Structure 1
Amino acid sequence: PPALVEVAATRPLEASLATVPGVRRLQSRTIRGAAELSVNFEPGTDMLLALQRCESQLSEVRAELPPDATLEVERVTPTALPILTFNVAGAADQRALHDLAMLVVRPALTRVEGVGRVDVLGGETREIEVLLRPAALAAAHLTPSAVADRLARESLVEAGGRVYEEHQVLTLVVDAQATTPADIAALPIATGPNGAVPLSAVADVREGAVDRAAIVTGPGGDVVTVTVARGLGASVPDVAQAAKAAVAELVRSGAVPAGVEVTPVYDQAELVDESIAGVRDAIVLGALLAMIVLGLSLRDVRSGVVAAVAVPVTLVATFGLMHLVGISLNLMSLGGLAVAIGLVVDDAIVIVEAIVHRMEEGEPPARAAATGTTDLFAAVVGTTLTTVIVFAPLGLLSGVVGTFFGSLAATLTIAVLLSLVVAVTLVPLMAARLLKARSGAGGSGPRRTRPRRHGDTEEHGGGGGERPEAAPRRRLSRAYGRLVERLVRRPLLGLLVVVLMGVGGYFALGATATGFLPAMDEGAFVLDFFLPAGTALEETDRVARRLDRILEDTPSVATFTRRTGAEMGPAAATEQNRGDIMVRLVPRDRRAGVDDVIDGVRRRVAAEVPEARVEFVQVLQDVLDDLAGNPRPIEVRFFGPDPAVLARVAHRAGELLDGAEGLEDLFDGVEGQVPELRAQVRRAAAANLGVGPRDVADDLAVAAEGRVVSEVRLPDRTVGVRVRFPDAVRFDPAALSASPLAYGPASVPLGAVVQWSRPRAPTELLRENMMPVVVLSADVSGADLGAAEASVRDRLGALDLPEGYRYEIGGQARSARDTQLQLAAVFGVGVVLVLAVLLIQLGTLRLAIVVLLGAPLALVGAVMTLAATGVPLNASSLMGCVLLAGLVVKNGILLLEHAQHEQQAGVPLGEALARGGARRLRPILMTTAATIAGLLPLAVSPGAGAEIQRPLAVATIGGLAISTVVTLFVVPSLAALLHRVGRRRPAPVSPAPPAASA
């Protein structure tokens, strides 16, 4: 019973593991005959060292556990779960299919490079059954345990030592093994009046199978499933391809008999390949769009080519540096490149635009390339550093989010830094070589109508040789400059815009759904099903076959594998009343979205299999949730000293949450109690018959469960020999009680020495951090995890908790909160570092604050965009918000840095801001357009891989578009406002050293 297992095994294991350094949460689940402990460690813990420490602690406590207990320790990583599943099915019986899977398929897959583990489940495991006949046994005055003990001594193969003969050492082997059922039946088990009594006198011996603890089915009936997990560092596509090739070779060579099929029913490589293809396409399309934007903006093919060359060169260099630092090419690192497409061209755009501007003023290409790059070198270095110092710390995030997005942040950082190197080296060199002198420039030098003051631009200075295609651009710049002059004279307008955006952002935040990790259509899902506690395996299987039929009738389902009495992944304590179904869908162009398919299956299950409780989750999402230690979106954990009181509290909480908006598949965590058959030994009656409680317990255990007394060793396997009562007796309490046992001078029924009772007991006991716990859980319908959590918290406010009891809300909702806190901390650190860069770049705190104010306004724009598009605020979109801070500051630096140079040359503030805005309008618009164009494919791509980065892209696009408007119109106004405040209360600020104007 669970209570006995908890005392004998679970609590000693908990006490031992709790002392391992770094343990954050220790959970245990105890069921009949098994216990499962889960240890979560603090972020940053060396998991290999933690695993070694856990194994060391368990070895010390091993002596305190029951002698027949077995321990299995496994580190939970993404590689622990299968990447490939085969169904073995055909005309052969279940024993033959199991043998084929174990002896042929499994060894072939194990030899494949990169395979970490191969598991076989389903079918029947061969066993030789010794079925005792109770009446004959009693007549021979033998007990079940006596027969088992005698057989263990009769059939054996043992080493007997060493013998020396003629300078050789011979190993002595004692062989008394019975190898066939007939041999075993002939073994003597006692001596009677007529000599030896053979086993056949009291038992029937036959080939049979181990009691089934799990049943596996697929389309059409029972199957044997073979799952393949990859080793650490192995590539999913490579391992899957090699494994399928190995199976194909078995079929081709005839190792798989005719009429038997080994069919892949789940292949994670398909999702990986599709996802990578989607991100790859987004990279290519984003690069093309960015180049088109360059061509349209610069209106010159050569200039566009010079700027666009930064994309392929940066990508190639990034691949090389990724290889050097050990970053693998995976979905997330490719996602970082997809996000970087629009950013790597920014510095090149600014440099090329400055060079083109110099050439339009009459400078020859070589001189324009040198002076344009020199003028803007400090600016582009500063703007690139702001992006890097904001985004690079994201790679330091802990937990699943850090693991998931770490390579994205690292790849993006590498790409942006390399793009800076390309922009200040290769781009000027190509510009000097490829760009041609402007024909209207007068050939040898610049031509002007008046002497040019420091900071003059063509918008305000008048220049000769203006090209016709440049006229519209200059008119736009002049119009913008005049508008800036008006805004500077009314700086309170900028403040009003800030206030209005803040109010709008507040309401938009309330209308934005929240989540943890971005959802993705994986093309597969897992259906977990549960029947009432205590349901037998055969009954669970009978009900689950109705689930099979629902899936077979669903057009979107390609195939499936159902496990009853077992669960996907590493070994776990599983009851016979539950199981899961791995469902693979047809290609997405032939079906609706995975959520719609799940909703359809859920409705049919509720209507046709109402006695089953079901939960749905996608495969990779399930893996990530397990790694985070939060398997469901909403979890409410109730703690207290008495499990019975906890069950009542959790049940009441379930009633309060029933029907709550946004919740589905609600389970209060109370499995209920089931009767157990307890045999209380009648000590006095047993003593009068000359037996003790140990004797009765041994006989009862052999009769009901059986005992493996020996093994028959065959060339390719060993087959156990089990002694037990026939099924008709051992599975019938009345027949078992009436079975005669040779106790005393004559046999007595088992019921004469035991008192039968049927007390009720829980089917499982849960503990967390060595305290009893009951976990209420639910899924979230839709995408708003935050609203669902708020609803739960509100409704649980009416829950009356006894003294000493408490609850906490966890699940993915807790992971989302933790992620938000981590990202907020990263954002705060980034803002401080950006402020330091701005102070160095601009030399004044007032201007640095003005530029920095663009960051929160950009977040407002991002939230508004998320609310308008229905994209949730999750880890991915929050990373987009962090990236925005660097991008917005970049535009602010470009704008105010030029205006500052104008002001230092003696130009009044209003005119300086107007000139700076007019001069930097084109590069700001070009870089913004290029970034948005590069991110657009990620935002709209229907591919599986792009779904992970879509929230990041949407948040960045929306925030950047709105923040660009803020930068161009609000920042000059706020700069003027702070300048007026500074004049009223002057403070000495050292100006930045003068630099040449671009």
Structure 2
Amino acid sequence: MVGFLIKRPIAVLMTFLGLLALGLVAGRLLPVSLVPDIDIPRISVRVEAPAYSARELESAVMDRLRMHLMQVNKLVELKSEARDGSGLISLEFDYGTNVDLAYIEVNEQVDKAVASLPRDMSRPAVIKASASDIPVFYLDVSLRPGGQPEAAGRHGEQAFLELSNFVDEIIRRRLEQIPQVAMADMSGRSFAEIVVTPRTELLQSIGLLPEAIENTIRAANLSLGNIILRDKQFQYHVRAGGQLVNAGDIAGLYLNHRGRLWQLGELCHIETRVREAEGMVLSQNRRAISLAIIKQGDARMQDLKTELHQMVSLFENDYPHLQFSITRDQTKLLDLTLANLGQTLVVGALLAFLVMFLFLRDPRAPWIIMVAVPAALIISLLFFFMAGMSVNIISISGLILCIGMMIDNSIIVIDNITRYRKQGKPLYEACVTGTNEVFTPLLSSVLTTCSVFIPLVFLSGLAGALFFDQAMAVSIGLLVSLAIAITLIPVLYYAIYSKKTVTARGLLARLNPIDYERLYTRGFHFVMRRQWVVWGVFVLLAALLPLMLAVMEKERMPQMQRQATLVWIDWNENIHVEENLKRIDELLQQLGDLVEQSAVQAGRQQFLLESLHNNTRQQSLVYLLAASEKELAAIEDLTRTFVGRRYPRAILQFREEGNLFDQVFGDRQPPLELRLRPLQNFGSELALRLQQTIDTLQQALPHLHFDPVPLQQNLLLEADLQLMALHQVDMGSLQRSLSRIFNENQVITLMDSRAFVPVKVGSRQGDLHQMLQTTTVTSRQGVEVPLQLLVSRSRGADLPVITAGLEGEYFPLALEIQARQLNHTTQTIQQQMQQSRWFEAGFSGSLFARQVLVKELLVIAIVALLLLFFILAAQFESLTLPFIVLLEVPLAMAGALAMLMLFGVSLNIMSMIGLVVMAGIIINDSILKIDTINRLRAGGMSLLRALYTAGHYRLKPILMTSITTIFALLPILFISGLGGDLQKPLALVVIGGLGLGTFVSLYFIPVFYYYLYRTKKKGR
């Protein structure tokens, strides 16, 4: 086939030019994102029940939902959180579960549970998650200082209400018209309500009950629905006129009392005002409305960024009184990451080409490779497009990993052709013979490298999804480069060298003064005469390997440099949203210029998606961006000091969820989560028992920090049923009177042109004791009974959030411990629980997941080695030769782990994957060397002579392939950003393994081969 292609160079070149054109077009069409677009196997169920407390919601709703949702297939983890007025159930499934089918099944179970839920609550909402559902930007909209009245005071509240409606109706809709935007999730807006406050003195003087006003408003809100009237051959839709729309319509209603008509405006004070906020958003210390921009799954991130910035520019021109701020911009991270990786790709390739110039000592051969490698990269993009992949940090890193191996394939073909030309063969015959000779070992090398990725499909969780793109990128790149090396390289070589002879003299020959062939000969003679040294080093490194594995720190993902953090604060006090914001403002003032950008989500948020945090009124989530990692550390220290000194009861957490990668693949659990399950119903004493248990654990484990139990102080109003029966007051009348006191007595809901507006009949706010004294309840006989006679007041405390799982209700405690402390910590806690007998201890956390992951990776490594053995045995037609090659793997692993320890890098997913990949790369040189030895021995050469000659034949390719691969990865060690931090462990492993593995291929493999075949030699 090679000869056929050499005789048709124009056809070959036109074919590759066509593929290059298709690759360039495909590259422009490929989606660009930070991480692969995958279905995250998580589904959440959100419950809204404003009238229920956390404890009532847990017993009446959440517990029943859990009973049904436990029956969903492939469910791994279920966690529910009940808060006052809302609840959230998070379900996590096995990776590989069809999320669409799971979504249908969860909805079916919710439908089954609805019949047993309270009738006054809406159906729970089921939300499916994917990587594209994570916000790419946050666009914060606020009133510009000096433009219109700011959000302070009654007038400012009205201005912010108008801003809320404007953002919802205009800004959000225009953003969602951008093709790349899937939705704009919104939070921080305010809503209107109409409050009817009866004039109590006037009503008492004329003997009118508040219930009469409520009935008048209900009766006036007439809606006939869809009524059709037929009149002979015509028909008409009947609509009711005079429907209520605003506060003025309510004030104009008439009420007939004892023969006199009263307007409600005379009897009540009626106003439209802003509903009390349960949560707010601050942007750069100003109240704002936050829009979370969710991109379409197949959209290019850069296109979205361009369109959004153009739209924001239009907004700023059209609405100069508004201020628009883009925060938590993931595209900046993507741009920086891809730019760094692209720069690494170019620098690595240039270093590799420089090495080729020095080794080949020929100014023409490296230019062949300089054409072949970019062609392989561009054509790989075509196959990316055909495979439905995207350009992200994982796939780009895969291309960087295989660029050195792409160069290796080309080097081996060129070097083999050059060797035959030096032996005096004609150019055509040298091209054909040299290419055909290395095709089988090259194919075996590519298959062995690709085969190590096959066992990664058994990696559970999202880590398996993370490396699918990397495995595909490496496999596609290597197969394309193999095709180019076998088809395009000999054609270009023949075309370039057809008029000139090979020369090794000149400037390039003088630039490389190192006589590596002479050095290799000395080393070969040394190891063959002192073979005990080789075996001694082998035993030493093999013994050190398990020791290094045992002492190395293990974690799930590598440590990454951060410039931003999310600070979650639970003030652990009964404070309202305004006080929450005041404390956050104090914190931001304390941090000062250290913070380049800030965004605050205080209290409950209105985002629809589960991935956006849902807090209570006393909790806040603060996004802080610093100029560098050093300043971020100073920010975290200042925050701990300020909160600990000013608000010692507060609970503080720093979350590394500032980017898409962290949110998709980061640990969602602390290293160890202690789950305290009550063994009996403690009732109101639950919080006290919990705190006593935590205090006991703190004494038993003084080196750990246990957060105090978060408490929510409640005011309990208990009805006196005996007095209610005596005065003939029913519970409904008592409840309505209490609702009027707290302005929660909603009568009807009006629909204006913008939104639904609730109408409430309440009373003027004042001191609770005074309101209880002045408020009366109407008995069934029409007698006014003072409210304070019928209720008693007391105070209590309960948990603000009630957490439960598959095992039932529990209280979670996050513990920051190291892996070596796990057994001692869990045993101590179990002993304390057995002594108290109040709670049962359960354990969860990322440390257990890491243990499972390490076991899985060890199994994967064993399977990968077995696959390598099978491929090598098939190639060599021998069951013994593969062992010679595989003996190189533990030695290279020792070099890789030594490199990790030298740079202080932990053993994580990336480094473990690097070990598996390195095992596939490192044996390629040995495969080619053993294949050459076998051919020489088959030609009649003696064993020692074959070992020596094959070593010289393959010396230059082995050195060049190893050095070019190392140089291609070397720039990764010096770049910053997410891509560099993610790939550094893998690069270190491959560099360390290749460095030692090259030495093993040159000197150890001949010794191993000699020991295996020396008996046959003696027999001859």
The two structures have a TM-score, normalised by structure 2, of 0.86
Q: 1:861 is aligned with what amino acid?
A: G
The SS at the match of 2:345 is helix
Counterpart Cα distance in 1 of 2:729 and 2:695: 46
Aligned counterpart in structure 1 of residue 759 of structure 2, from 704, 721, 725: 721
The SS at the match of 1:827 is helix
**1:539 paired residue number:** 579
Instruction: State the Cα distance separating 1:390 from its structure 2 match.
Output: 0.6
Aligned counterpart in structure 2 of residue 64 of structure 1, from 106, 109, 116: 116
Instruction: State the Cα distance separating 1:214 from its structure 2 match.
Output: 0.3
**1:359 paired residue number:** 421
Change (3 A) 1:605 1:309: farther
Q: 2:73 is aligned with what amino acid?
A: P
Counterpart Cα distance in 1 of 2:427 and 2:176: 64
**1:76 paired residue number:** 129
Instruction: State the Cα distance separating 1:931 from its structure 2 match.
Output: 0.6
Residue 365 of structure 2 corresponds to residue 303 of structure 1 = yes
Q: 1:919 is aligned with what amino acid?
A: Y
The SS at the match of 2:328 is strand
**2:778 paired residue number:** 742
Contact 1:513–1:867 at 8 Å: present in 2 too? no
Change (3 A) 1:567 1:884: farther
Counterpart Cα distance in 1 of 2:744 and 2:541: 75
Instruction: State the Cα distance separating 1:101 from its structure 2 match.
Output: 1.9
**2:228 paired residue number:** 162
**1:514 paired residue number:** 554
**2:604 paired residue number:** 565
**2:799 paired residue number:** 762
Aligned counterpart in structure 2 of residue 226 of structure 1, from 291, 314, 320: 291
Q: Structure 2, unaligned stretches of length 5 or more?
A: 1-52, 150-155
Contact 1:40–1:629 at 8 Å: present in 2 too? no
Deviates more, 1:471-480 or 1:164-173: 471-480
Q: Calculate the aligned-residue CA RMSD, in Å.
A: 3.3
Residue 536 of structure 2 corresponds to residue 496 of structure 1 = yes
Contact 2:362–2:508 at 8 Å: present in 1 too? no
Residue 62 of structure 2 corresponds to residue 22 of structure 1 = no
The SS at the match of 2:73 is coil
**1:151 paired residue number:** 217
Change (3 A) 1:521 1:365: same
Contact 1:138–1:742 at 8 Å: present in 2 too? no
Instruction: State the Cα distance separating 1:839 from its structure 2 match.
Output: 0.8
- 1:454-853, aligned counterparts within 5 Å? 469=509, 476-510=516-550, 512-521=552-561, 523-551=563-591, 553-566=592-605, 570-571=609-610, 573-586=614-627, 592=630, 594-595=632-633, 598-599=636-637, 601-603=639-641, 605-606=643-644, 610-620=648-658, 624=662, 630-639=668-677, 641-642=679-680, 644=686, 649=693, 652-654=696-698, 656-657=700-701, 659-660=703-704, 666-668=705-707, 671-728=709-766, 732=768, 735-736=771-772, 738-743=774-779, 744-778=781-815, 786=819, 799-801=832-834, 807=841, 809-853=843-887
**1:186 paired residue number:** 252
Change (3 A) 1:618 1:800: closer
**1:294 paired residue number:** 356
Change (3 A) 1:509 1:202: farther
Change (3 A) 1:636 1:68: same
Deviates more, 1:694-703 or 1:618-627: 618-627
Q: 1:922 is aligned with what amino acid?
A: K
Instruction: State the Cα distance separating 1:912 from its structure 2 match.
Output: 2.7
Change (3 A) 1:537 1:973: same
Q: Deviations 1:483-529 (Å, cap 9, x if unpaired)?
A: 33442454433221122223444454455433222344454321111
Aligned counterpart in structure 2 of residue 420 of structure 1, from 475, 482, 493: 482
Residue 422 of structure 2 corresponds to residue 369 of structure 1 = no
Residue 378 of structure 2 corresponds to residue 344 of structure 1 = no
Change (3 A) 1:947 1:184: same
Contact 2:80–2:803 at 8 Å: present in 1 too? yes
Counterpart Cα distance in 2 of 1:144 and 1:15: 43
Aligned counterpart in structure 1 of residue 334 of structure 2, from 267, 272, 275: 272
Change (3 A) 1:796 1:742: closer
Instruction: State the Cα distance separating 1:709 from its structure 2 match.
Output: 2.7
Contact 1:148–1:707 at 8 Å: present in 2 too? no
**1:858 paired residue number:** 892
Q: 1:248 is aligned with what amino acid?
A: S
Residue 140 of structure 2 corresponds to residue 87 of structure 1 = yes
**2:928 paired residue number:** 894
Contact 1:310–1:427 at 8 Å: present in 2 too? yes
The SS at the match of 1:226 is strand
Q: 2:862 is aligned with what amino acid?
A: G
Q: 2:615 is aligned with what amino acid?
A: T
Change (3 A) 1:982 1:8: farther
Q: 2:996 is aligned with what amino acid?
A: I
The SS at the match of 1:233 is coil
Instruction: State the Cα distance separating 1:530 from its structure 2 match.
Output: 1.2
Q: 1:965 is aligned with what amino acid?
A: F
Deviates more, 1:341-350 or 1:889-898: 889-898
Q: 1:707 is aligned with what amino acid?
A: N
Counterpart Cα distance in 2 of 1:741 and 1:141: 14
Counterpart Cα distance in 2 of 1:319 and 1:240: 23
Instruction: State the Cα distance separating 1:55 from its structure 2 match.
Output: 1.0
The SS at the match of 1:217 is strand
Contact 2:279–2:601 at 8 Å: present in 1 too? no
Q: 1:671 is aligned with what amino acid?
A: V
Instruction: State the Cα distance separating 1:535 from its structure 2 match.
Output: 3.6
Instruction: State the Cα distance separating 1:540 from its structure 2 match.
Output: 2.4
Residue 337 of structure 2 corresponds to residue 247 of structure 1 = no
Change (3 A) 1:53 1:149: farther
**1:405 paired residue number:** 467
Q: 1:563 is aligned with what amino acid?
A: A
- 1:133-144, aligned counterparts within 5 Å? 133=199
**1:113 paired residue number:** 179
Counterpart Cα distance in 2 of 1:975 and 1:734: 98
Instruction: State the Cα distance separating 1:168 from its structure 2 match.
Output: 4.2
Counterpart Cα distance in 2 of 1:319 and 1:119: 34
**1:394 paired residue number:** 456
Deviates more, 1:410-419 or 1:788-797: 788-797
Q: 1:420 is aligned with what amino acid?
A: L
Q: 1:161 is aligned with what amino acid?
A: I
Instruction: State the Cα distance separating 1:815 from its structure 2 match.
Output: 3.5
Instruction: State the Cα distance separating 1:767 from its structure 2 match.
Output: 1.2
Q: Deviations 1:851-909 (Å, cap 9, x if unpaired)?
A: 11212222221111111112222211221111100011112212222223333444443
Counterpart Cα distance in 2 of 1:470 and 1:437: 24
Instruction: State the Cα distance separating 1:831 from its structure 2 match.
Output: 0.8
**2:271 paired residue number:** 206
Q: 2:227 is aligned with what amino acid?
A: G
The SS at the match of 2:766 is helix
Instruction: State the Cα distance separating 1:841 from its structure 2 match.
Output: 2.2
Q: Deviations 1:828-866 (Å, cap 9, x if unpaired)?
A: 221111001111222333321121121222222111111
Counterpart Cα distance in 2 of 1:876 and 1:78: 20
Contact 1:392–1:410 at 8 Å: present in 2 too? no
Q: Deviations 1:964-985 (Å, cap 9, x if unpaired)?
A: 222222232233344468999x
Instruction: State the Cα distance separating 1:466 from its structure 2 match.
Output: 13
The two structures have a TM-score, normalised by structure 1, of 0.87
Q: Structure 1, unaligned stretches of length 5 or more?
A: 442-463, 661-665, 987-998
Instruction: State the Cα distance separating 1:556 from its structure 2 match.
Output: 4.5
Contact 1:388–1:417 at 8 Å: present in 2 too? no
Counterpart Cα distance in 2 of 1:473 and 1:918: 18
